[in-house]
Amino acid sequence: MEAVRRQREILDRARSDGRVDVVALANDLGVAPETVRRDLRHLADRGVVQRVHGGAYPVESAGFESDLAARTLSGVSQKRRVAAAAAEHLEGAETVYVDEGFTPQLVAEALRPEGPLTVVTSSLLTATALAGQAGVTVLVLGGRVRGRTMATVDHWATRMLDDLVIDLAFLGSNGVSREHGLTTPDPAVAAVKNLVVQRSRRRVFVGVAKKFGVSSFCRFADIADFEALVTDTGLSATEAHRYAALGPQVVRA
């Protein structure tokens, strides 16, 4: 297989599976591990993957955003652990914003409020999952529905948000970096997230470790805007300490 086709196959697999392993790729593609490492270096130089020990993660840049199916199928048990840890930050909040995305949806499902709870969300899937829960009132932001994520955006959504004061927001992101803060590929999505940050008293980021060290097109928040960053143990203790130095508690579930 020629290098260009092989690298395209590697990138497609990274985006589909959420991670690629050097040894597994070498076996599947019938090449030497060093050939795969060279391909990964080339892809990293192009900015489409992030190298890690033994493999690589895809970089969700302005040119790529995973769809709902890919997010749902990738690392479900890991995301459930992260979501459960994030849900522990409810701490008596009566109004909660739940962001679009599969992991924030899992946070919503893991919430155990002690009293009545109002959940505001841009996600149609989260609204559906919570609509039947006793004691939970669900408010869905209006707007254009993005088919890729089944979430609402644009001025209808931001206009509604502008009238709200929210106790706690659970927010996801395509990228989290100490240099650029929290980022996402779509400006319309960034506008909604940024206004949520402004309208929330407390903010918790929830997302798997592969989001860290990645930067996308549109910044919507700074690291210091969050009381906690909740992720998994794929984020090293050293990196967690570096992020914690910027202000938030870093939880590795």
Kindly state the percentage of the chain with pLDDT values over 70: 93
CA distance 109 to 130: 7
201 in any annotated domain = yes
Name the domain count of the chain.
Answer: 2
73 in any annotated domain = yes
pLDDT, one tens digit per residue, over 124-142 is: 999 999 998 999 999 999 9
63 in any annotated domain = no
**Do 81 and 206 share a domain, yes or no?**
yes
**Do 128 and 205 share a domain, yes or no?**
yes
Mean pLDDT of the chain: 90
**CATH number, residue 50:** 1.10.10.10
pLDDT of 195 over the 60 cut: yes
**Do 144 and 244 share a domain, yes or no?**
yes
**Do 10 and 105 share a domain, yes or no?**
no
- Within 10 Å of residue 139's Cβ, how many Cβ atoms? 14
Of 109, 121, 115, the residue nearest 94 (C-alpha): 115
13 in any annotated domain = yes
pLDDT, one tens digit per residue, over 44-67 is: 887 778 787 788 877 654 444 555
Largest CA distance in the chain: 61
**Do 153 and 52 share a domain, yes or no?**
no
What is the model's pTM?
Answer: 0.77
36 in any annotated domain = yes
**Do 218 and 109 share a domain, yes or no?**
yes
**CATH number, residue 173:** 3.40.50.1360
98 in any annotated domain = yes
**Do 49 and 72 share a domain, yes or no?**
no
31 in any annotated domain = yes
**Do 51 and 124 share a domain, yes or no?**
no
Kindly state the percentage of the chain with pLDDT values over 90: 72
**Do 136 and 191 share a domain, yes or no?**
yes
Residues contacting residue 253 through CB under 8 Å, at least 6 positions apart: 81, 82, 84, 85, 230, 231, 232, 233
Domain holding 196, by residue range, is 68-252
171 in any annotated domain = yes
**Do 13 and 77 share a domain, yes or no?**
no
CA distance 252 to 242: 13
Residues contacting residue 250 through CB under 8 Å, at least 6 positions apart: 228, 229, 231, 235, 240, 241, 243, 244
**Do 133 and 156 share a domain, yes or no?**
yes
